[in-house]
Amino acid sequence: MEYFIQQLINGLTLGGIYALIALGYTMVYGIIQLINFAHGEFFAAGGYMGVILLSFLSANGYLATNPWLCLSGSIILAMIYCSLLATGVEKIAYKPLRKSSRLSVLLSALGMSIFIQNGLMLTQGVYDKPYPSIFSGGGFDFGNIKISYMQIVILLITILLLVFLNILVFKTRIGKAMRATAQDKTMSSLVGIKSDRVISITFIIGASLAAAAGIMVGMYYGSVGYNMGFVPGIKAFAAAVLGGIGNITGAMIGGLLIGIIEIFGAGYISSEYKDVFAFIILIGVLYFMPTGIMGENVDDTRV
């Protein structure tokens, strides 16, 4: 039983991380139906920004005196940085292609992903960078079960973001504009919504979420590397699709589900085949629910 609970906690944490990335992913995805390969790279850039700022602060001694202030400041700066990066990428690589086939944008995104990943490698070096250890230690012990503070923080932040995004999308004006743009760009521009601006804002939100996720992951695992965005990017894509494309709650559920399946697959059956279990369940779910768990009606969109 203890074993089961510990694994469940592990699964929830890993799922929380996937969900964190998938939330930003699904926002962008829902609005322009772009498989944004570069999203994983925004996540990595956020992680790097976090490590750069935090080690700068810690070397100057601010981190020891004001840890919370430093951390929140770094997160905000990293979010701004990633927003800048994302706006640039969107303006250069995606916007000119908005009227062409979706596969052209996909390819452009793949090019950007390779470019940013290698840009990070060249500017930041090939070695992984250590995070200053401030919050990573410590936790609660219940007998043999251990929960670290970081695990709780990750889950809390994921849930908070979920609530925040749902309010944003369903209760605010900009959310309404987003939904309208996602539904039909022509119609929404006819009723006075600047769809280009809405798309840019969505990109900014998505990239800032990725930046926050990058810092969380960096702090949880203790290091960041230039290629850290690739695998989580694919997992987040899977989570977003499993939950239903463009559905925020769905992305969260999808992320948690994939995380839990992986951990239980590894913990109870075989850890080398854990990704296989995750993908088999993904395929099974999509076979019976072709639009994902929370997906809405079948639309006729194709390649």
Partner 1 sequence: MIQEFKSKGKNYLIGLIWFFLLLWPLLGIHSDGTLSFAKAFYVWFYIFCASIIVVTVYIIHKKGLTLPLVKPLASATNKIYGYAASMPKPVLFIIIGVIAFLFPFFTERYAQDTAINVLIYICLGLGLNIVVGMAGLLDLGYIAFYGVGAYTYALLNTLYGLSFWLSLPIVAIFAGIAGCIVGYPTLRMRGDYLAIVTLGFGEIIRIIFNNWMQLTNGPNGILGIKPPAALIPSFANGFSFEYLYLKKLHYLYYAALLLAVFTIIVVSRLSASRIGRAWEAIREDETVAEMTGINTFSLKLLAYATGAVLGGIAGAFFAARMRFVSPESFTFIESAMVLSMVVLGGMGSIPGIILGVIALIALPEVFREFELYRMLAFGASMTLMMLFRPKGLIPSKRMGVRSEEKEE
Partner 2 sequence: MKFKKLKLFVLTIITAIFISAGAFAETLKIGSMGPLTGPYAADGNDIANGVRSAIAVIEDEGGIEGFDKIELFAEDTACDPRQAVAAANKLINSEVIGVIGAYCSSATIPASEVLAEEDIIMITPASTNEKVTERELKYMFRMCGRDDDQSKAAVSFLKYKKAKTVFIIDDKTTYSQGLAENVAKGCEAAGIKVILHDHVNQGDKDFSAVLTKLKSKAPDALYMSLQNSATGSLMAIQAKRIGIEATILSQDAVYHPQFIDIAKDAAEGIYLTCGFMDKGTESYKNFIAKFQKITGTDKSGAYSVYAYDSAITLLKAIKKTGGTDPAKIKEAMLKMNYQGASKNISFKENGDSSSSYIIFKVENKNFKNHWNPETGELFSETK
Among 97, 200, 274, 293, binds partner 2 (CB under 8 A): 274
DSSP characters for 125-146?
-SS-EEPP-SSSS-EEEETTEE
Return the range that interacts with partner 2 (CB under 8 A); candidates 67-75, 131-139, 177-185, 203-211. 131-139
Residues 129-148 that bind partner 1 (CB under 8 A): 129
- Residue 284 within binding range of partner 2, rule CB under 8 A: no
Q: Is 90 in the site for partner 2 (CB under 8 A)?
A: no
200 binds, among partner 1, partner 2, none (CB under 5 to 8 A by kind): none
Asked whether position 207 contacts partner 2 by CB under 8 A, the answer is no
Nearest distance in Å: CB 1, partner 2: 11
How far apart are CB 159 and partner 1 at their closest, in Å? 25
Among 33, 189, 223, 249, binds partner 2 (CB under 8 A): 223
69 binds partner 1, rule: CB under 8 A: no
301 interacts with partner 1 by CB under 8 A: yes
Q: State which of positions 175-204 bind partner 1 (CB under 8 A).
A: 184-186
Nearer to partner 1, 15 or 265 (CB): 265
The verdict on 130 binding partner 2 (CB under 8 A) reads yes
**Binding status of residue 148 toward partner 2 by CB under 8 A:** yes
Site for partner 1 in 90-129 (CB under 8 A): 92-93, 96-104, 106-108, 110-124, 129
Using CB distances below 5 to 8 A depending on partner kind, what does residue 148 bind out of partner 2, partner 1, none?
partner 2
